[in-house]
Structure 1
Amino acid sequence: MALYELAVLGAPTAEQLAKFQELLHVACGQFQLKLGHDIALTIQPEEFRPGSRAAAAAIFFGGIGSVDVDIAKVIDCEAMTILPIASSDAAVMTEIPPPLRRLNCLFADKVTPERIFHALLECLGLLPRQRRVFLSYRRNEATPAAVQLFAELSSRQFEVFLDTQGIGPAVDFQETLWHQLCDVDVLVMLETPGYFESRWTSAEYGRALAKGIGVLRIQWPDTTPSIHTGTASLVEVIPEELDAVGQFATSAIDRVCAQLEDVRSLSHATRHLSMVTAVQDAVQQVEGKIDGIGPNRTIYLTLRSGRKLMVQPTIGVPTSTILQETFERAGADESAIVYDHFGLKRSWQSHMNWLAQKVPGARWIKKTDAAWDLGGWEAN
């Protein structure tokens, strides 16, 4: 049975369907999933009733005659996550069936096909619903552009961290900065001529690499590329796209936003794969056995003693919500949440320890300690 099940419903155009399938093939490569094996795709089925153990979602394309679809016969609208797509805001009443109108739509004339597809991956659980970005810049060179990007990306449903907006008074500035960096999908680097002359921006870039966070470089005109940034995704800004105040033209903003979607998807896939690999290596080291990998990259394993566990690798800052979801997925099995603790606030780690004491069941395991903790599971 497939780990993920997708359905395309409604009346997609040939162009929409072709682009959707193209993007799905790219995503399968990024997440190392096999289409037809790990991901099952059904196009305009008469009925879509996925298995209870699979992560499932559907996308409904509004079009000619789609408003008359008896959607309740096709899918359980209450139990299934469905992403409605209308051609425009004004077309909702003529394209989207009444049972789906309570759901927030995306409009094909306002967002790119990539944004639509990544929203579906969020519904499926392959991408997080939080779309977090960290702006890294030198204040004396790029503050107007950083403030502009904060507003533009926020309007496109990104949660943007900007140091002047995201850190309150009387808190440890640097500790909060690193904690916020840990919880983003992409570091957007405003590469002005003096970017690497600042120890703080240089450290932000270096620590993003250390965490495996994707980097999107926005290169200023006449900036000599650094020898250290060859692997980062690049958006080059030409002189005509930067005004006298230091803000970008619309053309540059559009390129940044389009590329940011791709960098975010690849970054999350790469980081999750790294976490899963670390758990697999730890299990092998303590002579355990991987029994299988489920939706949301859940790992089912058997320890050397024969005890069975469900391990949930997690990216970013772990929360009580992740704890709840792990409990629900594990059922009666013992479970653990594996995370990367580097950069997290000490107070947050204390909070996680408190949760572990007050809510028995799932354990928190640091990625670096996975073999040690799994090897001594029975002793705790």
Structure 2
Amino acid sequence: MSLYELAVLGHPTEAQIQELQRLVAQVQDQFGFGSDEIALQICPASFRPNRRSCAAALFIGGAAGASFEITAVVDPKIVPVLPVVSSEKLVSAEVPPSLRALNCIFLDQVPMERLFSALLECVGLLPRQRRVFLSYRRVESTAVAVQLFAELSARQFDVFLDTHSISAGVDFQEQLWHQLSDVDVLLMLESPQYFASRWTDAEYGRALAKGIGVLRVQWPDTTPSPVTSTASRAELLAEDFLANGQLSDEAVQRICHQLEAVRSQSHALRTMSLMDAVRIAIEQIEGQVNGVGPGRMMQVTLRNGRRLSVQPTLGVPTAMTLQETLLRAGHDDCAVVYNHYGMMTSWQEHLEWLAKRVGGSRWVRQSDAAWDFAGWDAI
């Protein structure tokens, strides 16, 4: 199974296909992926990706695009589909009716590289979204933690390490939980006394509470804890350790490769879970989801007919999240749905302050989605 499943649908030209294949190869080289870790399907008869993979598709309609039976190939309510049109004037001629509710990308306005970047945004492959939290006991595994921090940073991961990532003069514990709530994977260095610390024990438990993927790097001769049975594991042997307490290059390569798989699957499952939560909330109040577009933005219609653009967002949302949502939404009212657990109170207050000053936008907590959408016009 590939970690990332991409598809080009519709009627792409041979030049467009070759350019996209070149860009995929470039990304594989950039992230150190094997040839099977990113799958690019060209005009498949059916695109039904595994739910444990991150998936997205481009629809390049061309002159015959309006009559293309898109729902026979892919379910645009589940898989993000980015409609690509020659120019703004040709939307009705090149895009099937079921995709016209989505914001299109115009080839006369953006280069192919930007189009491909939008596809990578959908599957969470852009560097700014590849976040890892290193959880470890300083008395046992600092040397390995620092080594992995450097190795993963070089691979374009955004790595949180407490000794490198928290500034002086801040509430250390509050900042720690805030950072944990903004990552894709908890990389836990399970040395013999890992669970003897209440802080590392809490880091592991709160990662589970947020649905964050966990990769256990298990020390030699360490008895696995019964509480970690659901976490992925990378087992270390005595010969993996060097005299300076760090790991061999081969061991680091194994960990990095497995981490990418865990991150990809975690990102896919958490995204689908959040989208399902939005879908259930909308249907609970007798609305409907019309489709999923760039960045996994969901186009919904409330019971009273009001149309909204809803952006499910993993991690800690920012002003940039709101800006991107507003740009994708066009003239629609929009909402950013997020999981607020672990976020600093001051940050949540900042988000509310920001939304009040930006017309047409709101922040919606995942836990309050049905309630907030049901009262959208009463707020």
Identity of aligned residues (%): 51
Q: How much has 1:243 moved relative to structure 2?
A: 2.3
The more displaced of 156-165 and 325-334 is 325-334
TM-score by length of 1: 0.75
1:81 aligns with 2:113: yes
SS in structure 2 at match of 1:338: strand
SS in 1 for 2:123: coil
Q: Work out which structure has the larger RCO, using CA pairs closer than 8 Å and 6 or more positions apart in sequence.
A: 2
The answer for the alignment partner of 2:67 in structure 1 is: none
Q: Is the aligned partner of 1:125 residue 2:122?
A: yes
Contact 2:337 2:366 in 1 (8 A): yes
* CA positional deviation for 1:21: 8.4
Any residues of structure 2 matched to 1:131-150 within 5 Å, and which? 131-150=130-149
Distance in structure 2 (CA, Å) of the matches to 1:353 and 1:341: 12
After the TM superposition, which parts of structure 1 deviate over 6 Å for at least 4 consecutive aligned residues? 48-52, 119-122
1:166-205 superposed matches below 5 A: 166-205=165-204
CA RMSD of aligned residues (A): 3.4
> Residue 343 of structure 2: SS of its match in structure 1?
coil
Match of 1:9 among 8, 18, 21: 18
Moved more, 158-167 or 278-287: 278-287
Question: Residue 28 of structure 1 aligns to which amino acid in structure 2?
Answer: P
Return the offset for 1:128.
4.9
- Alignment CA distance shift 1:136-1:228 (3 Å): same
CA separation of 1:54/1:306 partners in 2, compared to 1, >3 Å: closer, same or farther? closer
Q: Are 2:317 and 1:318 aligned?
A: yes
Instruction: Give the secondary-structure state (helix, strand or coil) at the position aligned to 1:292.
Output: strand
Q: Kindly tell me the number of residue pairs found equivalent between the two proteins.
A: 319
Mark the CA change 1:298 to 1:11 in structure 2 (over 3 Å): closer, same or farther: closer
Given that 2:287 and 2:301 are in contact with CA atoms closer than 8 Å, whether structure 1 keeps it comes out as yes
- Partner Cα separation in structure 1 for residue 367 and residue 216 of structure 2: 30
2:217 alignment partner in structure 1: 218
Give the CA deviation at 1:55: 7.7
Question: Does 2:46 align with 1:28?
Answer: no
Aligned with 1:322: secondary structure?
helix
> Are the aligned partners of 1:195 and 1:202 in contact in 2 as well (CA < 8 Å)?
yes
Q: Note the C-alpha offset of 1:376.
A: 0.9
CA spacing shift, 1:334–1:247, aligned 2, 3 Å:
same
Matched residue, 1:295: 294
**Structure 2 unmatched ranges of 5 or more:** 1-5, 10-15, 29-33, 42-46, 58-72, 88-93
Q: Distance in 2 between matches of 1:21 and 1:191?
A: 27
**Residue identity matched to 1:126:** V
Q: Distance in 1 between matches of 2:80 and 2:277?
A: 27
Q: Is the CA contact (8 Å cut-off) linking 2:178 and 2:344 kept in structure 1?
A: yes
**Contact 2:178–2:343 (CA under 8 A) maintained in structure 1:** yes
One-letter code of the match for 1:367? Answer: Q
Distance 1:317 1:21, change over 3 A: closer
Query: Given residue 49 of structure 2, which amino acid in structure 1 is its aligned partner?
Result: C
Give SS of 2:309's match. strand
> Which residue matches 1:59?
none
